[in-house]
Amino acid sequence: MSNDLYIGTTTGPIITAKGFGQIGSKGGYNLRIDQEGKALELGSHLFVTGDATTSGSIRFAVDGDTGYAEIQTLSGSIWQPTLLQTDADTTYLGLSDTPSAYTGHANKSVTVTSGETALEFTTIDHGNISGLTADDHTQYSLVDGSRGFTSTVSGVDPTQGYHLATKQHVADAISTSVKKHIVIKPSTVKLGASAPTQAVIGNFPVLQFNGVSITEIIYTSFHTPVDWSEGTDFDIHVHWAPVNANAGTVVWQMTYDVVASNANEVISNVGDTIYVLDDTEGIQDELLESPDMTISGTNIAPEDTMGITIFRDPTHGDDDYTSDASLVWIEIEYTSDKFGETI
C-alpha cells in the first residue's frame, strides 16, 4: 500500500488516493487521505498563499457550524470570507426581488416594500418621513412663524394677492399721488346776510341762489389735509342744477384767504376772488359740475386753514341765466401723496 497521489482516468476521481495518509502539521491536518480509493478530505483549513499570521494570506477553511468550506482572507488578525465572481446576476434589475425596469421611475428612490420582502422604486412622501416636526432643520422657516429670517428675503413686483412684494414696490405704491376730495354740503355752511333760499328738490337739500339782482352768499372753511402733497393746487367745483330748462350762463364766484396758526396772521383779511362760468344744458334740475376754480398751492403750507366765501352775483356781465341756480354741494379736490402726518 503506498502513500502516493496520482491523477486518475476520465472516469475516475481527478485526484485519488492509492494509499492513505495526511498532509498537515503536528497535532492536526489540512488535507488528508484516510482511506484507499477515497477523495481528498479537507481538514480545518488549507493555506493557498501566506500563513496564519501574515495579513492578506488566503486559505480554504471549513465552517464549524455549517460544515461548508469557504475561502478566507486574513485582514489584520481577522479571517474574513472572500467573495468570488460567479455567473449570478450582478445588475440591480436582474435580481429576483427588485423591479424589472428603470422606465418610468426617473428621480425615484429605492425603498423596501410594505411587506418587507423586496425592493421597489418609490416617490418619497414627506408624510412618511420621520423627524419633520423636530426643530433641527435651520434652513427652513417654521409654519408657526417662530423662526425669523436672518438674511434679506427677495420679493417680486406683485401680480397676485399672495406674492411677496419688494420694498421698492411698496415705496412706489405709497408715493403714488392720488386725487382726494373734501365735500362741503349745504347743511354745513354758514349763510350770509343775503343768503340763498334753502329748499329740497327730490331727495337733495339745496341752496337756491337768486338770478336777478341780489348777490347771495355762503361761508365755509377747512384745514389743509395732512396727506396733501405740498405745493400742489386745490381745485374747487360747484355741483348745481338749474330750476328750469332755460338757456343761460351762471357765474360762480369764490373769495378765499389762507392763514397759518401761531404765525401772527389774522382771519380778517379780504382775501382773493376767483370765478368760473358754467352753462345750462336745457334740462330742468339737471345736475351740473362747474369747471375748476383753482387755488394755487405755492403759498400754502401744511396745517394752514382756508376760509372760503361762495356767492353768485347776477349783475356780473357774463351771468345771463335769470333764474335760481340750486347749489347741491361743493367739491374741493386736492392731490394726496402720503398716508398721513408723520409721527
As a whole number, mean pLDDT of residues 279-307 equals 96
- Does 322 lie in the same domain as 205? yes
pLDDT at 137 over 70: no
Tracing cell 420582502 back to the chain, one arrives at 117
- Please indicate, yes or no, if residue 164 is contained in any of the structural domains: no
pLDDT band of residue 116 (cuts 50, 70, 90) is confident
Q: Is residue 117 domain-resident?
A: no
69 and 192 part of one domain: no
Q: What is the pLDDT of residue 75?
A: 83
Report the alpha-carbon distance of residue 166 to residue 159 in Å, rounded: 12
What is the arithmetic mean of pLDDT over 39-61? Answer: 68
Write down the pLDDT at residue 143: 73
Task: Identify the domain containing residue 29 by its residue range.
Answer: 5-81
Task: State the pLDDT at residue 10.
Answer: 43
Q: Are residues 74 and 190 in the same domain?
A: no
d(CA 70, CA 60): 6
Q: Check residue 31 and give its pLDDT.
A: 52
- The reply to whether 309 and 188 lie within a common domain is yes
Closest by Cα among 86, 112, 88 to 99: 112
In a domain, 161, yes or no: no
Three-class SS state of 251: strand
Domain boundary among 81, 100, 115: 81
Predicted structure pTM score: 0.55
How many Å separate Cα 278 from the centre of its chain?
52
For residue 66, what pLDDT is reported? 62
Q: How many domains does the chain have?
A: 2
The model's pLDDT over 182-192, given as tens digits with 9 standing for 90+, comes to 999 999 999 99
Are residues 68 and 207 located together in one domain of the fold?
no
- For 183-227, what is each residue's pLDDT tens digit? 999 999 999 999 999 999 999 999 999 999 899 999 999 999 999
Please name the amino acid found at residue 219. Y
Asked if pLDDT for residue 255 goes beyond 80, the answer is yes
- Report the alpha-carbon distance of residue 295 to residue 235 in Å, rounded: 6
Judge if 332 and 187 occupy the same domain: yes
- For residue 94, the SS3 value is helix
328 and 207 assigned to the same domain: yes
Q: Is the pLDDT of residue 69 over 60?
A: yes
Residue 256 contacts residue 295 (beta carbons within 8 Å): yes
233 three-state secondary structure: coil
Say if residue 69 is in the same domain as residue 183: no
Question: Do 292 and 186 share a domain, yes or no?
Answer: yes
Q: Does the structure show a pLDDT above 70 at 165? A: yes
Q: Is residue 171 part of a domain?
A: no
State residue 68's pLDDT score: 66
55 close to 74: Cβ distance less than 8 angstroms: yes
With a CB cutoff of 8 Å and minimum separation 6, the contacts of 264 are none
Residue 121 within any structural domain of the chain:
no
Question: How many secondary structure helices (H) and strands (E) does the chain include?
Answer: 1, 23
The better pLDDT of the pair 39, 106 is held by 106
| 280, 321 Cβ separation under 8 angstroms | yes
Same domain, 66 and 185: no
Mean pLDDT of the 80-99 span: 67
The pLDDT value recorded for residue 79 is 80
Is residue 216 a contact partner of residue 311, using CB atoms and an 8 Å limit? yes
Please indicate, yes or no, whether residues 324 and 204 belong to a single structural domain of this protein.
yes
Q: Please check the confidence at residue 6 and state whether its pLDDT lies above 60.
A: no
**In 3-state terms, what secondary structure has residue 255?**
strand
204: in domain: yes
Which is more confidently placed, 58 or 251?
Answer: 251
pLDDT at 176: 76
For residues 184 and 330, state if they share a domain.
Answer: yes
Can you give the pLDDT at residue 28?
Answer: 45
**Residue that terminates a domain, selected from 81, 105, 135:** 81
How sure is the predictor about 158, in pLDDT bands with cuts at 50, 70 and 90?
confident
Q: For residue 259, count other CB atoms closer than 10 A to its CB.
A: 16
Under the banding of pLDDT at 50, 70 and 90, the label for residue 259 is very high
Residue 264 in any domain: the answer is yes
Residue 325, Cα to own-chain centre: how many angstroms? 56
Q: Could you tell me the CATH number of the domain that includes residue 226? A: 2.60.120.260
| 32, 21 contact by CB (below 8 A) | yes
Residue 58 lies in a domain: yes
Last residue of a domain, one of 59, 81, 103: 81
